[in-house]
Amino acid sequence: MTLLRTLRLCLIALPLSAGAQAATTYHVREDGGTDIQCNGRADAPYPGSGLGKDCAWMNPMVALPPGGRPRIAGGDTLVIHAGQYMVGLGAPGSSGVPACSSSYPWECAMAPVPSGPDAEHPTRILGEGHDRGCPAAPQLWGTERVRQVLSLEGTRHAQVACLEITDHAECAEFHTGGKACPRETFPFGNWSSVGLYAADSSGVQLTDLNIHGLAGRGVHAGRLRDWTLERVRIAGNGSAGWDGDIGAQKSSNAGRMSFRKLTIEWNGCVETWPGGKPTHCWSQSAGGYGDGMGTHQTAGDWLFEDSVFRFNTSDGLDLLYHTDEGSITVRRSWAEGNAGNQLKLAGPAVIENTVVIGTCGHFRGKPWSYKVDDCRANGDAVVFATKAATRSRFVNNTVLSEGNVAVLAGGPAGAQLVLRNNILVGLPWFLDPDKNSADAYAEGGIALDDSHGLKQSLRNAACRGTGTKCGDAGLVSASRLRPDPHLTVNSPARSSGTASGPEIPADDHDGRKRDRSRPVDRGAFQTNPTTPR
């Protein structure tokens, strides 16, 4: 063989050896076998006898053994078929494993998902049906105080899709109102502290996940870079939904953090099992936490689109600790009934086409409440805070507020908040019902550039400025109990907003196009759309 031919063959082989050729697809089924009985490489049950058969494993813990080396490699695919899979001490795959002991069962957690070799060849953990809209996600449930159900610690280039992550206990860690999880004596019961843990992780995509009912946090994650989430629900977790504080100053994220169709709700509540309903909701004064989503100091470009933050026992979305190294954008989203601030952002930030129902007293007197701090931090509906002379925008939003202030802005001289085409409605301030919620207000040196607003029943309303109107906004319902922020036929918000400038969004909350060649509607909803989405 000539030297030239040898070199050509080597060049042809290089991409294959580094790429997808080496990847293997493994399977998990409830009727599968152990790692001795089955090799995991076939979507087939264990036949009942023999070793090393072509059949599925019986539990994902076989693929990712606690304290051991994963049996799948970076770039492989693990398909988890329909069923319920226990994770923790006593689960298939935990017997005889040194990390699994009744003396420290919280260590009996699956090994982290191994990193894919590159972005084109991610490691994939997929529930059956992931390619069909995920009609019935397989369930991974934690037991015996396992520290987390799934780990992405140190994981790069990975996809996780179509899974339900939960536990089977009706308790919250350290609950002070009769729902505390057992922690003193083994057995501890069918609970897990965290659904998904991640640190030092990048290039991860999460799709069609339902992370709910954990005793502590649904997601506990920090030091992330370039994560993408789509159609992920984080709900009913006893402490918080997404807690981005994994240790003092060591939690900052970077790159592009994208969240689409994210739902974060009822965190700070115990979730009934098996009913899945909120109960014994609690927050900070009772020893709890309650943020829907919050971080420690963080950088990065954060994007939220078509997302929902509702009925969490503290803030809905708290990115107040963003360091200004990057940006925050919230589009076409909905925040309602969180007991603190609905949206709390650092600059530079953009909120557009978003509905904010600032009913921060939502939990008062409800049968599912134990002790919630109503309207924590005065319940201001939307909060902007910036540490530098940056420019933020609040455009075409609809806000109903029973907090002290509808929109609160803070920052140094040179900072600016631009408000355009917003509808702000003041409800009686929950903590002082003789006063209504106040108009947009600036603290520090930040300047407000407010025009074409429509302001209803606000305390200290600034009823002047370009295009500003005060009076009935013409919403279908401005009731705190049954709000409907759509516009009535005769609403003065119709065709009265400014369409000039690139800051006016081209579509509305529902994705309907705005005709910016003429005055657009104020608020988050555009009527008489010219082109449906």
Let me know whether 233 and 277 are in one domain: yes
Same domain flag for 403 and 365:
no
Integer-rounded Cα radius of gyration of the chain: 26
Q: Is residue 57 part of a domain?
A: no
> Whole-prediction pTM value?
0.94
In this structure, is residue 16 part of a structural domain? no
Task: Say what the pLDDT of residue 13 is.
Answer: 40
pLDDT lower than 50: segments of the chain: 1-20, 530-533
The whole domain housing 410 covers 380-533
Number of domains in the chain: 2
For 438-521, strand residue ranges (E) read 441-444, 447-451, 454-456, 469-470, 475-477, 484-487
Domain assignment of residue 193, yes or no: yes
Are residues 375 and 442 both part of a single domain?
Answer: no
Mean pLDDT of the residues in the chain: 94
Burial level of 488, CB count in 10 A (0-12/13-18/19+)?
middle
pLDDT at 250: 87
Quote the strand ranges of 88-191, DSSP E.
123-127, 139-142, 146-153, 156-167
**167 and 183 share one domain:** yes
In a domain, 449, yes or no: yes
Do both 459 and 501 map to the same domain?
Answer: yes
Q: 368 and 423 in one domain?
A: no
Pair 185, 262 in one domain: yes
Q: Is residue 4 one of the residues assigned to a domain? A: no
CA dihedral 325, 228, 319, 285 (to 10 degrees): -150
pLDDT at 16: 38
Q: Indicate if 100 and 200 belong to the same structural domain.
A: yes
Label the pairing between strands 441-444 and 369-371. Answer: unpaired
pLDDT at site 248: 61
Amino acid identity of residue 405, one-letter, is: V
Determine, yes or no, domain membership for 190.
yes
Burial status of residue 192 (CB atoms within 10 A of its CB: 0-12, 13-18, 19 or more): buried
> Same domain, yes or no, for 296 and 168?
yes
One domain for residues 309 and 371: yes
Contact predicate 442/386, CB 8 Å? no
Residue 1 lies in a domain: no
**Residues 62, 34 contacting (CB under 8 angstroms):** yes
Please tell me whether residues 211 and 120 are part of one structural domain: yes
Residue 20 located in a structural domain: no
Query: Residue 18 has what pLDDT?
Result: 43
Same domain for 453 and 318? no
Query: What span, in angstroms and rounded, lies between the C-alpha atoms of 278 and 290?
Result: 13
